[in-house]
Amino acid sequence: MTEIHYISTRGGGDALGFEEALLTGLARDGGLYLPHAYPRFEAGELDAMAAMPYAEVAARIMAKFTGKDMGFDALLRLCQDAYAGFSAPEITPLKRINDQIYLCELFHGPTIAFKDIAMQVLARLFDVALEKQGKRAVILGATSGDTGSAALEAFKGREMVDIFILYPDGRVSPVQEQQMTSVIAEGAYAVAVAGDFDACQDIVKRLFGDLALRDRLGLSAVNSINWARLMPQIVYYVVSVLALRGQGREISFAVPTGNFGNIFAGYVAMRMGLPIKRLICASNRNDILARFFEGGVMERRAVEPSLSPSMDIQVSSNFERLMFELLGRDGAMTRGLMEEFAATGKFTLSRDMVRDDIDLFWGFRADDAETLAEIARTWAESTILLDPHSAVGVAAARAYGTSHDELVVALACADAAKFPDAVEKAVGMRPPLPPHLADLMTRKTQKLTAKPEPKAVATLIENKKRGARI
């Protein structure tokens, strides 16, 4: 078995094994963990995967990143259990929109959003690691909508974990908030914070940066800052390519993008040897990423609420991972640019500073009017109902396809029923929730509130967490 270890994007600290990186989440120097090298698919390996069920493909891919800490057999059992409750047997089925565009549906898990695909696996990985080490963990995360409900659903009732999810009060959809606050279980809390998602994410990072507090509470992360959150997301890129490659055309992906984790998983798949032509970074009116790919300038502006709230982000944490790669894995340079961005809200990367990997990405933006128009167009042409985030992805696929010949897979991030107001505005029809969530809006709820200050959130955790580490 090939040994694998994890390093920080900022160059500090010792390399960690998979299990340590899983439980640590964010590196102690403030960086994000990445494998020291990307494993490659061996000759014939992708061909063999084409005939395997989804859970087996997932286990084989993830075993490349877990090393001696968890082998294929254990991962296969874990993945089979994680995906047993999904409503689609294919887990991430493909639907044809037209001769060029396909939709990869990622929302057939318990909270009808793509975050379930990774979160159901992550919760089980935590169980294994914490039981092995005889520890408890306090999970702290921030959400712009879907991560929170997926995390609370996956981790609720687990004996070794308390979980606190911060979300921007009034800036998630009613369905998203109801999903989070209707999880009523000991040790599982949704916490409303005044401000936007970036404010919530900043609190999380600052608390992780207080190393004494972090150690005392046993803090760990389930946001996509945790490498183990990205690892299961590589799988649906592989499965999609294997399903479509028989058409003899190159394949690109259009990815609705907020925190840059989903699209970075596609980049990792490409680095492993998956034949991907291009990754289309699809943004809403909060277009910091599209602007970067157009001109090399990362410049923060005020977050503007939109119909696709999970993408209402101006500080995309996972972009640091791509920066690290573009800069030739220079941790010191990455740290310097991140510190410059934190201080000034801006940095610039010139063409001569970066690797040619930058050419893999193509930026796109769609405002609310364009989002509604895409929902209406896709429904009229294909009788496929898109949520606003997925609509941004499909709009990006259409725009890209006007000047490129390859097939484009647009990632559908959520069931349309999670955003009924926007969908109804676009097509005049209110999408119903699936049967297992039919009573969602009448369920009892509980939520905590906290001031948008690290100290207030730390105090809340101290008061609410169960017991002490064992």
Which runs of consecutive H residues, i.e. helices, occur in 156-273? Answer: 174-181, 197-209, 211-217, 227-230, 234-244, 261-271
Report the chain's mean pLDDT, rounded to a whole number: 95
Amino acid at 234: I
370-419 pLDDT per residue, tens: 999 999 999 999 999 999 999 999 999 999 999 999 999 999 999 999 99
Over 90: is that where the pLDDT of 255 sits? yes
Considering only the C-alpha atoms of the chain, give the largest distance between any 2 of them, rounded to a whole number of Å: 59
- If you average pLDDT over residues 348-376, what whole number do you get? 96
Over 80: is that where the pLDDT of 275 sits? yes
- If you average pLDDT over residues 300-318, what whole number do you get? 92
- The pLDDT, as a whole number, for residue 468 is 42
Q: Comparing 310 with 39, which gets the higher pLDDT?
A: 39
Over 90: is that where the pLDDT of 146 sits? no
The DSSP element (H or E) to which 168 belongs, if any, is strand 161-168
3-state secondary structure of 192: strand
| Residue entry with tokens 């009448």 | 442
Over 80: is that where the pLDDT of 212 sits? yes
Q: Comparing 420 with 466, which gets the higher pLDDT?
A: 420
- The pLDDT, as a whole number, for residue 13 is 86
The DSSP bridge partners found for residue 34 are 7
- The pLDDT, as a whole number, for residue 3 is 82
Reported as a pLDDT band with limits 50, 70 and 90, residue 470 is: very low
CA distance 434 to 253: 27
Burial of 99 (0-12, 13-18, 19+ CB in 10 A): exposed
Amino acid at 11: G
151-208 pLDDT per residue, tens: 999 999 898 999 999 999 999 999 999 999 999 999 999 999 999 989 999 999 999 9
Q: Which residues of 403-415 are buried (b: 16+ CB within 10 A; e: fewer)?
A: ebeebbbbbbbbb
- If you average pLDDT over residues 29-48, what whole number do you get? 96
CA distance 135 to 98: 51
Q: 300-304: long-range contacts at Cβ-Cβ below 8 A with a sequence spacing of 24 or more? A: 300/341, 300/345, 300/346, 303/196, 303/197, 303/198
- The pLDDT, as a whole number, for residue 466 is 84
Angle at the Cα of 255 (from 253 to 259), degrees rounded to 5? 140
- The pLDDT, as a whole number, for residue 144 is 83
Over 80: is that where the pLDDT of 43 sits? yes
For residue 125, give both structure tokens. 């990985």
CA distance 57 to 242: 11
- The pLDDT, as a whole number, for residue 2 is 67
45-62 pLDDT per residue, tens: 999 999 999 999 999 999
- The pLDDT, as a whole number, for residue 469 is 39
Angle, helices 331-344/319-326, rounded to nearest 10 degrees: 130
| Structural domains of the chain, with CATH | 94-108+230-427 (3.40.50.1100)
Sheet containing strand 94-96, edge to edge, reads: 94-96, 101-105, 407-412, 251-256, 279-283, 361-365
| Residue entry with tokens 């090298």 | 37
CA distance 460 to 165: 12
- The pLDDT, as a whole number, for residue 223 is 85
- The pLDDT, as a whole number, for residue 453 is 96
Q: CB neighbours of 49 closer than 8 A, spacing ≥ 6?
A: 57, 60, 238, 242
93-132 pLDDT per residue, tens: 999 999 999 999 999 999 999 999 999 999 999 999 999 9
For residue 345, give both structure tokens. 């809200």
User: Catalytic pick from 64, 115, 205, 465?
Assistant: 115
The DSSP element (H or E) to which 154 belongs, if any, is helix 146-155
| Residue entry with tokens 């502006």 | 301
- What are the two backbone dihedrals, phi and then psi, of residue 448, each rounded to the nearest 5 degrees? -105, 160
Over 60: is that where the pLDDT of 288 sits? yes
Q: Residues of the chain with pLDDT > 70: what percent?
A: 99
- The pLDDT, as a whole number, for residue 209 is 92
Q: Is 115 an active-site residue?
A: yes
- The pLDDT, as a whole number, for residue 1 is 53
Q: Are 147 and 115 in contact (CB under 8 A)?
A: yes
For residue 28, give both structure tokens. 């102690």
Over 90: is that where the pLDDT of 467 sits? no
Q: 289-296: long-range contacts at Cβ-Cβ below 8 A with a sequence spacing of 24 or more? A: 289/257, 289/260, 289/316, 289/319, 289/363, 290/363, 290/364, 290/365, 291/363, 292/349, 292/363, 293/358, 293/361, 293/362, 293/363, 294/363, 296/348, 296/349, 296/350, 296/351
